[in-house]
């Protein structure tokens, strides 16, 4: 199950830097996760300082 980034995202980039497969990129209002590339490891969620990332 892929992870998603919610509206609480502050665009700090910690999730993108921690993603081992590069599935996270900067969107217009927040970072976004490519569900097809996400391996559901949870590394991004563990490193998010505002807990904006959850399982889809």
Q: Give pLDDT, residue 56.
A: 85
Contact 22, 37 (CB under 8 A): yes
Instruction: Give the pLDDT score at 26.
Output: 97
Query: Rounded distance, CA 30 to CA 12, Å?
Result: 9
Domains of the chain listed by start with CATH number: 3-55 (3.30.70.20)
pLDDT given at position 17: 97
pLDDT value at position 1?
A: 79
Please indicate, yes or no, whether the overall pTM of this predicted structure exceeds 0.85.
yes
Residue 43 structure tokens: 């590394």
Q: How confident is the prediction along the chain (56 residues), in pLDDT tens digits per residue?
A: 799 999 999 999 999 999 999 999 999 999 999 999 999 999 999 999 999 999 98
């Amino acid at each position: 199950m892929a992870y998603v980034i919610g509206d609480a995202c502050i665009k700090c980039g910690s999730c993108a830097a921690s993603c081992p497969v590069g599935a996270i990129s900067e969107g217009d209002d927040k970072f976004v996760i490519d569900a097809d590339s996400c391996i559901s490891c949870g590394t991004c969620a563990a490193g998010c300082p505002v807990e904006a990332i959850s399982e889809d």
